[in-house]
Structure 1
Amino acid sequence: MSYEQFAYLYDELMQDAPYEEWVNFVKEKSQKYQVDGKDLLDLACGTGELSVRFAKEGFSVSGVDLSADMLAVAQAKAQEQGLPIPFFEQDMASLEGHEEFDIIGIFCDSLNYLKSDADVIQTFASVYNHLKDEGIFFFDVHSTYKISEVFTKQTFADAEDQISYIWNSFPGELPNSVEHELSFFVLDEQTEKYDRFDELHYQRTYPIQQYSDWLDDAGFELLEVCADFETKEPQPNSERIFFIARKKPSL
């Protein structure tokens, strides 16, 4: 199975993801922090599911992802719904050729796929350079608790008629990192046999204070840290941490 086929498979596997909660979160917090414009950059946009939803809510959306196959799915999805969303194949740590945006978001724990401190630091700098003064940066990450207690040394599985999977998670070599070994079994309706497709994914996170320090170093004012789509402060067992930061004007 090609990665392009996996890109279509991704939407099937993620159909229960709380996309509307991400959209509502951004809308509510943008209003709270008085963001005037609606130019939004969806970094690591994948198959464009959030990009499309933001566009339907009146945002002027652009999408960036490193995977050409994911972007092909995103472009087809936007065209099918008549949405003029431009998509670009770029690394979020080295954006170039874009106008400045009112809002930049890295959603669905995509930041956790960066492998080093330097990658995160460079991404924050890249986001800063592409935000308007006073622009807002949203991102969410897995908590250290989720990486170490929920994922590590766990096996997840699901068996459906069309798609089944086995997902094993192992500790990564670096602190607060995890390796996911995924095997998918997808029904080929012509042969009535299942094709197997294997994927290896690596994720790494950091303590909240580390992200806060990097944001400060990059020139951001940290406005809010919350967890699990709620307004309360993160708890020891919170799984998804949300950061909202404002670009300080350069001197």
Structure 2
Amino acid sequence: MNTQPSTALYSDLSGYYDLMCADINYQQQSDCVRRLHQMFGSEGKTHLDLACGTGPHVRFFIDNGYESSGLDLNQPMLDLAKQRCPEAQFSLQNMCDFVVDEPYDLITCFLYSIHYSGSLEQLRACIERVHAALKPAGVFCFNAVEKKLINNDSFVRHSVEHEGSHFVFKSGWFYGGNGDKQALKLSIEKTTNKVTEEWHDDHPMVAVGFDELTALLAPYFDVTILEHDYDKLLPWDNASGNAIFTCVKR
């Protein structure tokens, strides 16, 4: 068994990130957010993706006529994103403290990455930065998880074959029940020639209730909360633990 620290998971294993996310329908997510932008925003086509990772969402936005760019904290991820989207601009920045040269029509943050803000204070800073980086009536779209509805026993698991190895990826939320700290628990198993290596990691993330999140957004945005369904645009039912937030700059 080989257990790697957190930094290794997203640096040394950055090449496996797309395998870890192989069950994610990036096109479906991107298409949905483009529909939301058409409904709530302007006809502008400038786009910034926060925590863009290896750039799959950016790729779909570019292919649909957007001038798209991304930022992330991990340079190996950005190197892969640049290979995927050579025409895009990528920058090594923290989404809670980023600056832009020109404002955008649309800013996105997929895959619950808004929670990487880490604390309510940093989440507020991220919201302020996004507001400053948007054009008038610009749209900020992201998904989030309601801390009070996290099931610590629920995990998502998938496996994939790659270059002669068998990978098993597992992820799940953990919330202790109090405060603004939760964790994303990740594990990766790689089996090659019957030898298995394992990586385990807990990513610290900010825990927030949707009422708290709405209150943080309200001074800056008109907020619409939708069910976490990328095919059907339905109002949030106030009961499910995941939602899509569509926010229009005031």
TM-score range normalised by the length of the shorter chain: 0.7 to 0.9
Coordinate RMSD, CA, aligned: 2.4
Partners of 1:128 and 1:247 within 8 A in 2: yes
Query: Deviation per CA, 1:25-83, whole angstroms, max 9, x where unpaired?
Result: 1221122124121000001111111011111111100101111121111112223xxxx
Equivalence map 1:18-33=2 (5 Å)? 18-33=25-40
Whole-angstrom distance in 1 between the partners of 2:96 and 2:121: 9
For 1:105, the aligned partner's letter is T
Out of 186, 202, 209, the residue aligned to residue 211 of structure 2 is 209
Whole-angstrom distance in 1 between the partners of 2:153 and 2:130: 34
- The reply on whether 1:75 has 2:94 as its aligned counterpart is no
1:45 aligns with 52
Distance 1:156 1:215, change over 3 A: closer
Partners of 1:172 and 1:179 within 8 A in 2: no
Q: TM-score, normalised by structure 2?
A: 0.84
Whole-angstrom distance in 2 between the partners of 1:221 and 1:157: 36
Out of 136, 155, 170, the residue aligned to residue 133 of structure 1 is 136
Equivalence map 1:71-220=2 (5 Å)? 71-79=78-86, 84-144=87-147, 146-147=149-150, 149=151, 152-154=152-154, 157-158=157-158, 162-165=166-169, 167=171, 170-172=174-176, 174-175=178-179, 177-188=181-192, 193-217=195-219, 219-220=220-221
For 2:26, the aligned partner's letter is Y
Partners of 2:186 and 2:201 within 8 A in 1: yes
Whole-angstrom distance in 2 between the partners of 1:113 and 1:122: 12
Deviation for aligned residue 1:186: 1.8
- Between Structure 1 and Structure 2, how many residues are aligned? 237
Whole-angstrom distance in 2 between the partners of 1:67 and 1:171: 25
Whole-angstrom distance in 2 between the partners of 1:17 and 1:207: 25
Partners of 2:120 and 2:208 within 8 A in 1: no
Distance 1:177 1:116, change over 3 A: closer
Q: Secondary structure at the match of 1:125?
A: helix
1:221 aligns with 222
Deviation for aligned residue 1:245: 1.4
Query: Deviation per CA, 1:147-191, whole angstroms, max 9, x where unpaired?
Result: 2x2xx1345555555202455654347446433443322245xx7
Whole-angstrom distance in 2 between the partners of 1:53 and 1:106: 14
Q: TM-score, normalised by structure 1?
A: 0.84
Whole-angstrom distance in 2 between the partners of 1:172 and 1:67: 28
Deviation for aligned residue 1:208: 2.0
Partners of 2:171 and 2:186 within 8 A in 1: yes
Whole-angstrom distance in 1 between the partners of 2:246 and 2:173: 29
Distance 1:157 1:242, change over 3 A: closer
Question: Structure 1 residues 1-10 or 65-74, which shifts more?
Answer: 1-10
Q: Secondary structure at the match of 2:96?
A: coil
Partners of 1:144 and 1:207 within 8 A in 2: yes
For 2:225, the aligned partner's letter is V
Partners of 2:41 and 2:248 within 8 A in 1: no
